[in-house]
Structure 1
Amino acid sequence: MMDLKTLAEHLDQMPVNPYLTYSQMIVCTLDVRSDLGAGSLYFSRKHPLACWISTLICIFSSTILTNFLLNEPIISSLGNTQQVLTATLIWYTIFYSPFDIIYKLCNFLPIKVALNCMNEINTCKTIYQGIIHASKVFPDSYVIMVFIGIVRGNGPGFTRMFERLIRGNWSMNVLEFMHPSYSTKMSALASITFIVNRYSEWFMISQSFVFFCVVCACLYLRLSAILLDISDPFCPFENLTCLLLFGGIWDALAKALSSGDQSTRHTGNLRSKALRADILYRNGQQVYVAKCAPVITPQMATMN
């Protein structure tokens, strides 16, 4: 029976085979169709060129952004004709299959789970390869390595605004820097873990085991998102971090003190109005109506 160490070594040494690449292409194409919403079929039939180009950008976004940031030819991302033809075939079958059968088959839960699991393994491998590639160009910049790892892990998230622009829909609410998605956060965490394991002297754990742990964490969180509908498991930690480190606790304290001052002032105003009403009555002057006190007249005083 294969032990955990052997399994981790096999997973780490496993090359990025075509099946992992195909799963990534299918998942990206499904994301494009999901982003189009209910009118995806109508758009694909009326604007097939825009639909095809935006899908290719989504599929090859990680390589395109990596080449752009590392000052390498951007167009080389589309240099592999076989991959471009495969991506085109996947795009065509998902958008134009008879009775939409391929799209329905890909969204069938067991197949959807299998595709996403394969895509997570492929994502972890591309993140690690991106860090290795960035370390050769910028060997002393850990920040650049982390950023390249993030881009390699969630390239479609950073190009989504441009994809929508190609499809004639400009929207700023998908800007990844303002609203980072789960994939961006997980890619950042995986990149930092790989870099610490690779360059730190006190992190004495084998690279294969670290890669295995990162893959398991990605699979667990992705399955939780699919099966349990957990969109972002990082939200509770983000809220706590913002409360403790980014001024949240001081804002809450200032708001509490401000509410206390307003309550004290309101109570003081009520007491002042009641006192003024009492003084006006004792002096026998005209009727005084306070918002928080009953109407007091000289006739009522005579009756008492």
Structure 2
Amino acid sequence: MDVLGVLNLGEIAQYFSKMAMFPVFDVAYYIVSILYLKYEPGSVEVSRRSPVASWLCAMLYCFGSYILADVMLGASPIDYFHNNSHVLLATAVWYLVFYCPLNLFYKCVAFMPVKLVLVALKEVVRTRKIAAGVHHAHHAYHHGWFIMVITGYVKGSGVALISNFEQLLRGVWKPDSNEILNMSFPTKASLYGAILFTLQETHWLPISKSLLICLFTLFMVTSKVFMTARHSHGSPFALVESWVCHLLFHSPLGCDDSHDHHHHPAAAAPAASPAKTKEELNEGTRKRKSKKAE
């Protein structure tokens, strides 16, 4: 009993849910987001040819979820840019990732142990954004369950949902990479998390918000860190989704569109070695092109 009294999970969860995200967690979010932008094909070339376009892409990676959620809720899409400290911080990260001498900053944050820590901190921010999106929508549309789910979903994965628009800024058009058609694990997790937080907000889930934030953050951090360390882009939901889709929508068992979408035969890794992520494959392609140009 004394141990349970010392380890009061309710108080820990309450403290964790109220912990400030700025600046440490937000910096980690910006670093990982812009790091993934640099992995995209042509992003480095764009940063040399048009820094303005590169900066706009970076801001979409950092604030795309806020922009899309504001548009959905009838607010100005540039409303979040009044947070000067956040914009300046994201801009500083963008400059260091793309223009730091000898690529030192990029090499430091891409170093796997450091990257795993940054990925974990980013998932903390993602969970908080989902919860905040659902709460905001609940305040505006008290009985709009679907609006709460959609807003939380957009807050958690808005960057991926507007990826096609961001690609246009880089001069790339890949409609088959639409995130709705090929949902990645963070996008799926954001949707499921939005449903859970909506149920909690409407008192259908008998759990406190702080405890739900703590538990969902733990799940997201564990899953994303493990997947990043293993160079995997699968999904912990794959088995359950396969059976549910088979029963409800007559989909073939074992079908994983996102896996097929990211694994092209030409870029497939040997069976004995772990599969590389989409970002790492893009980074390898960019480096090979740079060597050929030299």
1:142 — aligned with what? Answer: 145
Q: Aligned-pair distance for 1:2?
A: 4.1
Aligned with 2:234 (options 209, 232, 235):
232
Q: Deviations over 1:209-266 (max 9, x none)?
A: 222111111111101211223312222222212211102379xxxxxxxxxxxxxxxx
The alignment partner of 1:65 has SS state of helix
Q: Aligned-pair distance for 1:27?
A: 1.3
Instruction: Please tell me the residue identity of whatever aligns with 2:222.
Output: Y
Question: Are the aligned partners of 1:242 and 1:248 in contact in 2 as well (CA < 8 Å)?
Answer: yes
1:9 — aligned with what? Answer: 14
Matched, 1:85 2:120: no
Aligned with 1:130 (options 130, 133, 147):
133
Q: Aligned-pair distance for 1:163?
A: 0.8
Question: Are the aligned partners of 2:135 and 2:201 in contact in 1 as well (CA < 8 Å)?
Answer: no
Q: CA RMSD in A?
A: 1.7
TM-score normalized with structure 1 length: 0.77
Aligned-pair identity in percent equals 28
Instruction: Please tell me the residue identity of whatever aligns with 1:62.
Output: S
Quote the Cα distance in structure 1 between the aligned partners of 2:78 and 2:63.
Answer: 10
Change beyond 3 A, Cα 1:101–1:249: closer
Aligned with 1:214 (options 213, 216, 240):
216
The alignment partner of 1:173 has SS state of helix
Aligned pairs for 1:42-81 (under 5 A) are 42-81=45-84
The alignment partner of 1:117 has SS state of helix
Q: Aligned-pair distance for 1:75?
A: 1.6
Aligned pairs for 1:104-253 (under 5 A) are 104-201=107-204, 203-233=205-235, 234-248=237-251
Question: Are the aligned partners of 1:117 and 1:219 in contact in 2 as well (CA < 8 Å)?
Answer: yes
Q: Aligned-pair distance for 1:172?
A: 0.4
The alignment partner of 1:248 has SS state of coil
What is the aligned residue count? 247
Quote the Cα distance in structure 1 between the aligned partners of 2:251 and 2:112.
Answer: 40
Question: Are the aligned partners of 2:62 and 2:90 in contact in 1 as well (CA < 8 Å)?
Answer: yes
Quote the Cα distance in structure 2 between the aligned partners of 1:229 and 1:245.
Answer: 31
Tell which has more relative contact order, 1 or 2 (C-alpha 8 A, sep 6+): 2
Q: Aligned-pair distance for 1:17?
A: 2.4
Quote the Cα distance in structure 2 between the aligned partners of 1:18 and 1:209.
Answer: 23
Which structure has the greater CA radius of gyration?
Answer: 1
Quote the Cα distance in structure 2 between the aligned partners of 1:43 and 1:54.
Answer: 10
Q: Deviations over 1:140-164 (max 9, x none)?
A: 1111111111110011101111111
Question: Are the aligned partners of 1:58 and 1:159 in contact in 2 as well (CA < 8 Å)?
Answer: no
Quote the Cα distance in structure 2 between the aligned partners of 1:112 and 1:175.
Answer: 26
Quote the Cα distance in structure 2 between the aligned partners of 1:249 and 1:46.
Answer: 46
Q: Aligned-pair distance for 1:15?
A: 2.7
The alignment partner of 2:20 has SS state of coil
Question: Are the aligned partners of 2:138 and 2:201 in contact in 1 as well (CA < 8 Å)?
Answer: no
Structure 1: tracts of 5 or more residues without a match: 251-304
2:256 — aligned with what? Answer: none
Change beyond 3 A, Cα 1:249–1:87: closer
Q: Deviations over 1:174-214 (max 9, x none)?
A: 2122111111110111111112122235x322222222111
Change beyond 3 A, Cα 1:168–1:10: same
TM-score normalized with structure 2 length: 0.79
Question: Are the aligned partners of 1:56 and 1:87 in contact in 2 as well (CA < 8 Å)?
Answer: yes
Instruction: Please tell me the residue identity of whatever aligns with 1:27.
Output: V
